Amino acid sequence: MDPNRIILLCVIAYMALCVTIGLWALKRTRNTSDFFMASRNLGVLITGIALFSSIMSGFGFVGGPGLVYRMGISSFWILVTTPIGFALAFFLVAKRIRLIAELRNAISLPDIAAARYGCPRVRGLVAVAILCGVIAYLATQIRAMAFVLQEIFASNGVWGHDSVVFCVVVSCAVLVFYCVTGGIIASVYTDLFQGIVMVVVAVLIFVGAVGAIEGGMGGMMEIILEDNAEAAGPWGTLGMLGCLSWFFLFTLGVVGQPHVVTKMMMTRKVEDAKRTLPITLLGYTVTALLWIGIGMLMRAVVLNGSQAELARADDAAAVFLQSYAHPVLAGLVFAGLFAAIMSTADGFLNIGAAAIAHDIPRALTGNSIRCELMWARIATVVLAILASVFALQSPIQLIGQLGAFGWGVFASALVPVIGLGLNWRGGSRKAALAAIIFSLAANGGIVIAQMAGFSIPYGVSGGALALMGSTLVFVGISLASKDDSFSPDIEEVMKL
Amino acid sequence: MKPYVFVFIILSFILATLAIALSIDSPEAASGAVHPDFGTMSQGGDAGRHEGRLLGGWLYGSLQIGLFVLLIGQCVPSGRSKRWLIAASGGLYLAVYIGLILSYGKGVEGAPFILGFPFPTAWLVFGMWPISALFAVLYTTQYDNWIYTPEDAKRFQTIKERYQGDSENGS
């Protein structure tokens, strides 16, 4: 069979499975607690896999190998530091967020912030920060899905392959279908399947990549080192300060990713967290092998002349699949790629819908809206349409910046307010409000400055600077203000 | 002193270190330059680009490690047994990072290969990466002692019985 047809069939089969899971989850979604929290009934394995597959997005499967191809070892700092970020997130957030969720029947992160700070303005601002980050991040995921689908359609001669709008509509239709019907239940069960696919393809790809060149990993490194020793050194071509700014952003930043920490509220028991962390770390580490394997091989084979230079660094994964992988494996990887993108996007759709249908109305009126479940489903569709329009209308250069903006906003707004605030009685509501406002202004300013051609010296990440600034603002203002009073139940939970 | 005063001090030092580093004129290819033969790749110049900056880089990274370990440490109430394991793990993390800096200072070119990576890079891949597993092992094995003890679980049940019903659905 034509290899391109095999790839197309794998992707269609994958999408059909997502739709089936959506229909299955529909029967289990009866109220907003089911839709947003899976009724806090998730097991250890499913939560562990959903957590890592939420983080290892399309960026990991496409952008990651592209970064290694372009910069050598530099992006290893993201891979090496994200796992310690997971550990930090579990230490800082997992227990208390789960306790407050159970005590207050919280169904979103802004619910937790409102309970902790006793302030509707904090709830509203957390929801706004989440919404800004979600739209930006979702736009990059949708664009990535459309990009991959366009390549597959083009190689199969499918009608409309040259239309990015057509590809956005097809990929979003599947995503929105299972998110609207099954809410977070469909999302985490597709995450489970998606995570397993990602792990399997990552191992196969790594073995294939290492075996594709004489001398394996050492052989690749020798070629890279011979061309430029710094590219093979621990800082890669980006240099020390740039890598260390990633170290900060991707370690502490994980604590503020709402699609990650929200899932910590959904476990069956508080104690499940202790068994969830090892599963998450193992899954993330194994899938990182794809990032390393493809990136290193493609840089090495282009340098030694056995492969023509890539048109773009982000083509590393696609060219590898066409040139070095068996068609069935390539089909699996493309399905895995969709899995990676969708598993991140579905989480964003769910928390974004919660912000629109649950948190912002509550922050404004103090009450829930009637028929919240119906509005949550409508909000999911509206959010997907908004993000799609944003993805289609924005220039490619901006799309890249939006992904960084999303991670930066989540990290700098939520690390101090949620990560530190849940552990420190002294964290004040004034400080929380100031940190979120600082975060939105700093990240927005950085994107605008970068669009205007300004760059931070030494390749230092703007998101890292925003995170340092907002955390300092939060801690500084809290230290300078009197302790706020707590609701008696939250006061007692803060002592546990 | 309260832990969050330390957090404030460490964060201030991190920002100050970064601000000083950013204020110094950057050498050629400090954050990479376009590869002369392949436009989609970058090169990192030579090791001279970090000359005189390694100490600053060591401080910048070490302060970050200190911050992360401090944040983990303050999640475990004082008086719980084996709390020293966090400090010991942090010390090991710092030692591995120092190993990376020192071996990089001696040069990447000509360095021996360890399991396919030059020695300085091997510190990153086989040293810093597995440390995260160490913290995860501590979290998993010490959870009932550090994070959520059986007594905590009983107290939470009491809190729930006392207060649940006062507040509904995320209030």
Half-sphere exposure (Cβ direction) of A269: Cα atoms closer than 13 Å: 10
Q: Looking at the partner chain, which of A71, A281, A420 has a beta carbon nearest the beta carbon of B42?
A: A71
Answer yes or no: are the C-beta atoms of A72 and B121 closer than 8 Å: no
Q: Is A247 exposed, middle or buried (0-12, 13-18, 19+ CB in 10 A)?
A: buried
By the CB < 8 Å criterion, does B10 face chain A?
no
- Short-list A237, A455, A107, A423, CA closest to B42: A237
Q: Which of A241, A291, A310, A314 to mutate to test the interface with B (most CBs of B within 10 A)?
A: A241
- Short-list A483, A429, A479, CA closest to A124: A429
Q: Looking at the partner chain, which of A104, A239, A488 has a beta carbon nearest the beta carbon of B31?
A: A239
Q: Which of A227, A475, A483 to mutate to test the interface with B (most CBs of B within 10 A)?
A: A475
Decide which of 3.40.50.300, 3.40.50.970, 1.10.3720.10, 1.20.1730.10 is the CATH code for A3-396: 1.20.1730.10
Please judge whether B139 and A239 are an interchain contact, meaning their C-beta atoms are less than 8 angstroms apart. Answer: no
Nearest-Cα distance to chain B for A232, in Å, is: 7
Say whether A241 sits in a helix, a strand or coil.
helix
Distance, in Å, from the CA atom of A383 to the CA atom of B52, rounded to the nearest integer, reads 50
Here the tokens at position A123 are: 């709830």
Which chain B residues are Cβ-neighbours of A271 within 8 angstroms?
143-144, 148, 153
| Domain ranges, ordered by start, for chain B | 3-24+43-162
Q: Looking at the partner chain, which of B164, B167, B169 has a beta carbon nearest the beta carbon of A107?
A: B169
Please judge whether B140 and A472 are an interchain contact, meaning their C-beta atoms are less than 8 angstroms apart. Answer: no
The CA–CA distances, whole Å, from A359 to A40, A410, B12, B50, B69 equal 19, 16, 34, 48, 33
Please say whether the dihedral angle defined by the alpha carbons of residues A358, A359, A362 and A364, taken in this order, is positive or negative.
negative
- CB-based contacts of B66, cutoff 8 Å, min separation 6: B10, B90, B94
Q: Degrees (nearest 5) of the Cα angle B1, B4, B6?
A: 60
Provide the 8-state DSSP code for A42: B
What string of pLDDT tens digits covers the 496 residues of chain A? 777 788 788 888 888 888 888 888 888 888 888 888 888 888 999 999 989 888 887 777 777 888 899 999 999 999 999 899 999 999 999 999 999 999 998 989 999 999 999 989 999 999 999 999 898 888 888 888 887 788 788 777 776 556 788 888 888 888 888 888 888 888 888 888 878 888 988 899 899 899 988 899 999 999 999 999 999 999 999 999 999 999 999 999 999 999 899 999 999 999 999 999 999 999 999 999 988 999 999 999 999 999 999 988 888 888 888 788 887 888 777 777 777 788 788 888 889 999 999 999 999 988 888 888 888 899 999 999 998 888 888 766 566 667 777 888 899 999 999 999 999 999 999 999 999 999 999 988 988 888 888 888 888 888 999 999 999 999 999 999 987 788 899 999 998 8
Please judge whether B156 and A236 are an interchain contact, meaning their C-beta atoms are less than 8 angstroms apart. Answer: no
Provide the 8-state DSSP code for A29: -
Say whether B42 sits in a helix, a strand or coil.
strand
Question: pTM score, two decimals?
Answer: 0.91
Distance, in Å, from the CA atom of B137 to the CA atom of B142, rounded to the nearest integer, reads 8
Please judge whether A229 and B47 are an interchain contact, meaning their C-beta atoms are less than 8 angstroms apart. Answer: yes
Which chain A residues are Cβ-neighbours of B106 within 8 angstroms?
none
| Domain ranges, ordered by start, for chain A | 3-396
Cα(first)–Cα(last) distance of chain A, in Å? 61
